[in-house]
């Protein structure tokens, strides 16, 4: 997710900023400063205001997500989008579902940001929760070889979520495991499976269960390269379902049913 091996240069309306080698630029407006500093991270470069990075609730949630992942992916605006989607969905009837949890960065940040103990709903986290290699039957998520960015085992992920009630881990591959997912009404659906067929299968399975006003968040919708096939699969489903996907500059996609 970062630019490696050389300095990166960004130009925004005449502003030139050079990052240190091996790092992406992420300038945070300090409290009291006028907005307009450059945000450059995770492939998103903009001079638009981003005071959310100084919000204590956001900062706490992001830090909890980093703790779950074991390192910082430098995806502040992506997490910001996820927190907005989850907060919006918290006012809709139904449970929360995530397909492709990994170590739990996004789900942990969401749970930390919400008054979860007072919300009468469940958060179902679906993943294999084991390492795998590309080329394995039904492999989901890794881009090449084995990856340290995914969960090593189910027990470590359970331990991460032990502080929150009504969080249920469902171990298995999508779509095979979906028949075992016991949920009737869904308010929030996060899909991050890195594979077009499972992502469309997840949408097809949960779409009838989504409440009116439910939010669907797609992690890799707008990313190029191999992820483009995911966009095509999602767009085909959206056309069939009579809805539209909002692609946002973070690379995520949003659907409100």
Sort strands 253-256 and 246-247 into parallel, antiparallel or unpaired. Answer: antiparallel
Asked whether the predicted pLDDT for residue 169 surpasses 70, the reply is yes
Domain annotation covers residue 4: no
Asked whether the predicted pLDDT for residue 141 surpasses 50, the reply is no
pLDDT, position 38: 83
Domain annotation covers residue 103: yes
- 37 & 142 share domain: no
pLDDT, position 71: 94
Domain annotation covers residue 80: yes
CATH code (residue 156): 3.40.50.150
Q: What is the distance between the terminal CA atoms of the chain, rounded to a whole angstrom?
A: 31
Mean pLDDT of 115-129: 97
Domain count, the chain: 2
> Which tens digit of pLDDT belongs to each residue from 16-36?
443 434 444 555 555 545 555
Mean pLDDT of 90-119: 98
User: What's the mean pLDDT when you consider all of the chain?
Assistant: 85
- 34 & 125 share domain: no
pLDDT, position 88: 98
- 39 & 68 share domain: no
- 102 & 30 share domain: no
pLDDT, position 5: 31
- 87 & 205 share domain: yes
- 44 & 134 share domain: no
Q: Which domain holds residue 96?
A: 55-256
| Sequence-separated (6 or more) residues with CB below 8 Å from residue 101 | 107, 125, 126, 127, 129, 151, 157, 169, 192
Opening angle at CA 94, ends 91 and 97, nearest 5:
105
Mean pLDDT of 104-108: 98
- pLDDT-derived band at 40, boundaries 50, 70, 90: confident
């Amino acid at each position: 997710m970062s630019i490696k091996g050389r300095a990166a240069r960004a130009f925004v309306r005449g502003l030139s900023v050079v990052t240190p080698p091996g790092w992406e630029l992420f300038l945070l407006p300090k409290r009291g400063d006028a907005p307009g500093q450059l945000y450059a991270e995770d492939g998103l470069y903009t001079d638009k205001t981003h005071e959310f990075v100084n919000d204590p609730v956001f900062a706490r949630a992001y830090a909890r997500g980093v703790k779950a992942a074991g390192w910082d992916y430098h995806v502040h605006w992506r997490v910001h989008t996820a927190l907005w989607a989850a907060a919006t969905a918290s006012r809709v009837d139904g449970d929360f579902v995530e397909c492709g949890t990994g170590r739990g960065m996004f789900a942990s940040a969401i749970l930390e940001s919400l008054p979860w103990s007072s919300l009468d709903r469940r958060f179902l986290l679906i993943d294999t929760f084991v390492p795998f290699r590309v080329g394995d039957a039904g492999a989901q998520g890794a881009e090449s070889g084995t990856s340290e960015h995914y969960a090593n085992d189910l027990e470590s992920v359970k331990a991460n979520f032990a502080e929150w009630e009504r969080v249920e881990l469902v171990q298995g591959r999508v779509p095979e495991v979906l028949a075992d997912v016991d949920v009737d009404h869904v308010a929030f659906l996060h899909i991050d499976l890195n594979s077009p067929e499972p992502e469309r299968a997840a949408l097809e399975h949960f779409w009838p269960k989504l409440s009116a006003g439910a939010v669907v968040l797609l992690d890799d919708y707008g990313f190029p390269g191999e992820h483009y096939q995911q966009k095509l699969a999602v767009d085909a489903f959206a056309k069939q379902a009579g809805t539209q996907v909002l692609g946002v500059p973070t690379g995520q996609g949003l659907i409100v049913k």
